């Protein structure tokens, strides 16, 4: 008998599976509003970022629709669910990058030279006038992070940072970004990139590491803004969701 390795499912996928199964029972009709992220997190005994990653996965599948400022609603199940594969959750990826790139930029602060700063300055100049163009800003964002890694002069590290950034192009990360990335968020990101550049110019490893980690932490916070389900006026206009009876996820 052929045996295959069993891979553990990511927690957010387990949560998505439970919610999908619940929706499949018909307990909530199409158009009904789901419980809030907070309520789901409490019921399933997981963090709100995990709930958000699960909800984004279900939205990509077409099972729910997220309306920022309103809530989360049941959608008509698609005839053919898209095959999205298994991806790292957006918040899992940002946390990993904070650890890895934090160490890289601390080393870069020791090795940085004038031509490296000129390269980063050129990217920042372009960023400053492209904040209304998501596609261009993503490209410049990638170039900036890869450029910082290149200061170490190690092609493996440079390639690894680029590959980590490219995981941002997953359908889940893309869906999350569609809800929360805009010109304002890109302007904040630009200022955070400039702070990293200034820390490198100061040749301060701790300052550079902390600036990088603050940037990625702020990115996670931008992607964690409320969907708006808790608005009191909205609660008066919409009926309460029926209780979601799911076992806690360990």
Q: Which of 207-216, 218-227, 234-243 has the lowest mean pLDDT?
A: 234-243
| Residue 228: predicted pLDDT | 59
Position 230 pLDDT exceeds 60? no
Q: What confidence category does residue 83 fall into, taking pLDDT thresholds of 50, 70 and 90?
A: low
Residue 65: strand, helix, or coil: strand
Top pLDDT among 113 and 228 is at 113
Q: Which of 1-15, 37-51, 75-89 has the lowest mean pLDDT?
A: 1-15
Position 139 pLDDT exceeds 60? yes
Q: What confidence category does residue 4 fall into, taking pLDDT thresholds of 50, 70 and 90?
A: very low
Please state, for a pLDDT cut of 70, what percent of the chain lies above it: 84
Q: Which of 79, 73, 63 is nearest to 33 (CA)?
A: 73
Section 221-246 average pLDDT: 52
Position 187 pLDDT exceeds 80? yes
Which two structure tokens, joined as six digits, stand for 101? 């790139």
Top pLDDT among 182 and 69 is at 182
Continuous H helices in 113-229? 114-128, 134-150, 155-166, 171-180, 183-201, 205-223
Which structural domains are found in the chain, ordered by start?
A: 11-85+227-237 (1.10.10.10), 90-223 (1.20.120.530)
Q: What confidence category does residue 203 fall into, taking pLDDT thresholds of 50, 70 and 90?
A: very high
pLDDT digits 0-9 by tens, 89-124: 888 899 999 999 999 999 999 999 999 999 999 999
Which two structure tokens, joined as six digits, stand for 54? 């699960």
Give the span between the Cα atoms of 211 and 192, in whole angstroms. 7
Most confident range, picked from 67-71, 91-95, 162-166, 174-178: 162-166
């Amino acid at each position: 008998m052929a045996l295959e390795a069993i891979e553990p499912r990511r927690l957010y996928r387990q949560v998505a599976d439970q919610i999908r199964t619940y929706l499949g029972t018909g307990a909530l009709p199409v158009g009904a509003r789901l419980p809030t992220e907070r309520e789901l997190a409490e019921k399933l005994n997981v963090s709100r970022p995990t709930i958000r990653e699960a909800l984004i996965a279900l939205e990509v599948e077409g099972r729910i629709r997220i309306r920022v400022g309103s809530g989360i609603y049941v959608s008509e199940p698609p005839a053919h669910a898209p095959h999205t594969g298994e991806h790292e959750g957006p918040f899992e990826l940002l946390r990993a990058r904070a650890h890895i790139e934090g160490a890289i930029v601390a080393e870069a602060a020791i090795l940085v030279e004038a031509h490296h700063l000129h390269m980063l300055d050129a990217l920042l100049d372009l960023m400053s006038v492209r904040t209304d163009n998501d596609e261009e800003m993503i490209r410049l964002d990638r170039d900036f992070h890869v450029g910082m890694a290149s200061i170490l002069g190690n092609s493996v590290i440079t390639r690894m940072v680029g590959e980590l950034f490219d995981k941002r192009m997953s359908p889940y990360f893309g869906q999350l970004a569609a809800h929360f990335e805009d010109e304002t968020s890109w302007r904040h990101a630009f200022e955070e990139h400039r702070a990293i550049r200034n820390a490198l110019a100061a040749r301060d490893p701790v300052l550079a590491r902390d600036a990088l980690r603050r940037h990625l932490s702020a990115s996670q916070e931008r992607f964690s803004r409320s969907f708006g389900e808790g608005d009191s006026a909205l609660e008066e206009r919409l009926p309460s969701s029926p209780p979601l009876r799911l076992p806690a996820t360990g």
